[in-house]
């Protein structure tokens, strides 16, 4: 029965290909691990939807995966930033060439319309509404329909990215009656109860909320280079390149629509996806399991057709120690535990060596900001025992003991991690074995994501394994490490921080010169390393296969790890 159950999804997948249109040479076939919940450009919720929407719509700014740098997309340039007391102004200009599908120009009015759709009540926008809460108003230029200024609350380093990181919508298509024209963006910040009775807004909401963005491609017509040609639920989505798209110009090298067609095939099962890749039914596949990736590397027939890549990702695994607990109050105890984290073995067992050890939250690949002076703390049993003794622990026959608040306390560690994550499970097992050599009993408990989050926010844990995904543009660690986020429910789960570190975090966010930011970040890394409450272990490597008939694939550590719109067919 097991062989039948494994083969059946693949058989159905092969049949589904037979019913599809003939595939052209200049078509890229991509796997989606799951079907997008919606293709609404203002209420999407998953990575699969983002990947498709990026090919249909554009934001003001875009990340060029060839360089992992933020660049202008619909905007003519990066914004001019002016800080004024409690607000920050971001001045933009839309490219003169930018056009909608019907040939009409993209203007500042479209940006204002988009903000209204994202911020207004009654609309299905709840998932992405928080992203633009900091944008309080938009000021249109009366002399140039392409210029505008976004007025934002306060200042944070990530604002530059966020001001340009939402899909711009065509007002001509979604609001031909001009129902939202009289509503001002500034009126959509607080106290929205009056607007809920606005007849124009109610009429627009009724129409907008009725759109089925998964099946009706009438409204999926943005300024990007593709249109949704067909969609078969639970099977595939096919995008067709626009003719004479405005962005296909040499001066817009980071904007592209090269493949004539891009087909996304919905394949939830990893085994089925790998079989489809081997059968040349897919041109690109990411997140290949390490063991299978190693097998592909030795398959000469496969490697004659496919290139394999392992870019350094911006996702790292770390452990958190609850420094609020009396047994972990002395940082020498936490440092001792850090020396029992056999990261080399963890990488070998859980990642099959597709990872890079790190002593910092900053990726080692970002050499300008990474603190190279930090001790990597390789597994060292003798050093761990020395630190435990210095912290007042006494080794007895069955473990380490210390008098805490007048009571004899044994050093034990309960480790929690997300259920179903074999990487965490394997890493936790490695730690359990290493700690046992030091005489420290460790219990492991896998739990569902919701319970893990609940325990972390309630500070009901000894130690956990988690992962975080970042990017090379913003280094705002305030939510993770500032003491104002250390109360119940905050994201500073470990209790790290004091007045000195709080000032340092604020200074990092305020620093504009790269050299000053680098200096401050290195100081923060040294402090985190010394306190050993938040202990980074390793940064992961992605595992990707791409058919060799394509060049200009822009492989990157940033998700989705390649730019399918740039794939160029080799001669």
Strand-strand pairing, 27-32 and 261-266 = parallel
The closest of 471, 507, 488 to 160, measured between CA atoms, is 471
**For residue 424, what are the contacts with CB-CB under 8 A and spacing of at least 6?**
317, 350, 417, 418, 446, 465, 466, 467
Across the strands, what pairs with 410?
401
For residue 345, the Cα-to-chain-centroid distance in whole angstroms is 27
pLDDT confidence band for 2 (50 / 70 / 90)? very low
Domain 313-541's class? alpha beta
Contact 568, 383 (CB under 8 A): no
Q: What is the pLDDT of residues 451-474, one digit of tens each?
A: 999 999 999 999 999 999 888 888
| Residue 85, both tokens | 């007391």
Helices assigned H by DSSP within 29-99: 47-56
Band of pLDDT at residue 1, cut at 50, 70 and 90 = very low
For residue 281, the 8-state DSSP code is S
CATH fold for domain 58-209 = Dipeptide-binding Protein; domain 1 (3.90.76)
Ranges 64-78, 241-255, 322-336, 355-369: which has the least confidence: 241-255
Omega before residue 144 within 30° of 0, cis: no
Per-residue confidence (pLDDT) for residue 24, from 0 to 100:
62
Lowest-confidence range among 8-22, 78-92, 491-505?
8-22
Average pLDDT, integer, range 366-380: 94
Q: Sort strands 413-418 and 463-469 into parallel, antiparallel or unpaired.
A: parallel
Q: How far is CA 245 from CA 103, 227, 230, 457, 554, in A?
A: 10, 11, 20, 48, 21
- All CATH 3.40.190.10 domain ranges of the chain, comma separated, are 2-36+225-311+543-569
Report CA-CA distances (Å) from 50 to 44, 65, 223, 387, 473: 7, 15, 15, 48, 19
Q: Which of 318, 561, 297 is nearest to 431 (CA)?
A: 318
Determine the pLDDT at residue 6. Answer: 31
Non-local (6+) Cβ contacts of 60 within 8 A are 72, 73, 74, 75, 79, 92, 94, 111, 163, 164, 165, 168
Note whether 549 and 540 are within 8 A (CB). no
The reported pTM is 0.86
Between 3.30.70.3270, 3.40.190.10, 3.30.460.10, 3.65.10.10, what CATH number should domain 2-36+225-311+543-569 receive? Answer: 3.40.190.10
Write the CB contacts of 128 (distance below 8 Å, at least 6 apart in sequence): 42, 43, 44, 118, 166
CB 496 within 8 A of CB 479: no
318 bridge partner residues:
466, 536
> What number is the average pLDDT over the span 412-436?
96
**Over residues 187-209, mean pLDDT:** 91
Tokens read off for 62: 């875009």
- Distant-in-sequence, close-in-space partners of 408: CB < 8 Å, separation ≥ 6: 401, 402
Numbered ranges of CATH 3.10.105.10 in the chain? 313-541
Top pLDDT among 12 and 560 is at: 560
- Reported as a single tens digit per residue, the pLDDT across 249-303 is 877 789 999 999 999 999 999 999 999 999 999 999 999 999 999 999 999 999 9
In angstroms, how far is the first alpha carbon of the chain from the final one?
46
Q: What is the pLDDT of residue 340?
A: 98
Q: What is the mean pLDDT of the chain?
A: 93
Render pLDDT for 483-507 as a digit per residue (tens, 0 to 9).
999 999 999 999 999 999 999 999 9
CA distance 537 to 427: 10
């Amino acid at each position: 029965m097991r062989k039948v159950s494994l083969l059946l999804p693949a058989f159905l997948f092969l049949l589904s290909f037979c019913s599809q249109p003939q595939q052209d040479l200049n078509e890229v076939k991509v796997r989606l691990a799951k079907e997008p919940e919606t293709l609404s450009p203002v209420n999407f919720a998953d990575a699969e939807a983002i990947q498709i929407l990026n090919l249909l719509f554009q934001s003001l700014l875009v990340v060029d995966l060839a360089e992992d740098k933020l660049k202008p997309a619909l905007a003519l340039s990066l914004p001019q930033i002016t800080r004024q007391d409690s607000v920050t102004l971001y001045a933009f200009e839309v490219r003169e060439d930018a056009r909608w599908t019907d040939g009409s120009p993209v203007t500042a009015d479209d940006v204002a319309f988009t903000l209204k759709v994202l911020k207004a009540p009654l609309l299905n926008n709840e998932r992405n509404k928080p992203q633009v809460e900091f944008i309080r108003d938009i000021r249109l230029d009366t002399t140039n329909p392409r210029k505008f200024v976004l007025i934002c609350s306060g200042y944070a380093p990530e604002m530059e990215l966020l001001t340009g990181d939402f899909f711009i919508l065509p007002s001509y298509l979604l609001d031909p009656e001009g129902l939202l024209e009289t509503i001002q963006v500034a009126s959509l910040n607080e106290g929205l109860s009056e607007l809920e009775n606005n007849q124009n807004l109610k009429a627009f909401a009724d129409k907008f909320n009725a759109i089925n963005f998964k099946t009706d491609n009438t409204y999926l017509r943005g300024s990007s280079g593709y249109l949704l040609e067909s969609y078969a639920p639970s099977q595939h989505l096919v995008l067709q390149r626009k003719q004479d798209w405005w962005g296909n110009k040499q001066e817009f090298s980071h904007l592209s629509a090269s493949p004539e067609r891009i087909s996304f095939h919905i394949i939830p099962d990893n085994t089925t996806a790998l079989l489809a890749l081997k059968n040349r039914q897919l041109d690109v596949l990411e997140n290949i399991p390490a063991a299978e990736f190693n097998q592909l590397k030795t398959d000469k027939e496969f490697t004659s057709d496919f290139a394999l890549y392992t870019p350094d990702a911006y996702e790292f695994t770390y452990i958190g120690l609850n420094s609020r607990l009396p047994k972990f109050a002395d940082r020498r105890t936490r440092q001792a535990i850090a020396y029992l984290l056999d990261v080399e073995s963890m990488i070998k067992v859980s990642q099959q060596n597709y990872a890079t050890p790190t002593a910092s939250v900053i990726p080692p690949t970002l050499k300008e900001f990474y603190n190279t002076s930090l001790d990597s703390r390789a597994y060292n049993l003798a050093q761990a025992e020395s630190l435990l003794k210095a912290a007042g622990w006494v080794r007895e026959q069955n473990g380490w003991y210390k008098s805490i608040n007048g009571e004899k306390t044994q050093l034990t560690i309960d480790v929690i991690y997300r259920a179903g994550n074999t990487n965490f499970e394997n890493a936790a097992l490695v730690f359990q074995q290493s700690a046992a050599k030091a005489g420290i009993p460790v219990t492991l408990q896998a739990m569902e994501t919701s319970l893990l989050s609940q325990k972390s926010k309630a500070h009901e844990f000894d130690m956990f394994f988690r992962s975080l995904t970042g990017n090379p543009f913003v280094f705002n660690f305030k939510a993770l490490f500032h003491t104002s986020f250390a109360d119940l429910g905050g994201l500073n789960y470990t209790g790290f921080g004091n007045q000195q570190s709080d000032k340092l975090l604020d200074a990092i966010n305020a620093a504009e010169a790269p050299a000053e930011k680098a200096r401050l970040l290195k100081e923060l890394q040294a402090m985190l390393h010394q306190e050993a409450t938040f202990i980074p272990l390793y940064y992961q490597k992605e595992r990707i296969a791409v058919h060799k008939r394509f060049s200009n694939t822009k492989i990157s550590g940033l998700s989705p790890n390649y730019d399918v719109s740039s794939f160029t067919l080799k001669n």
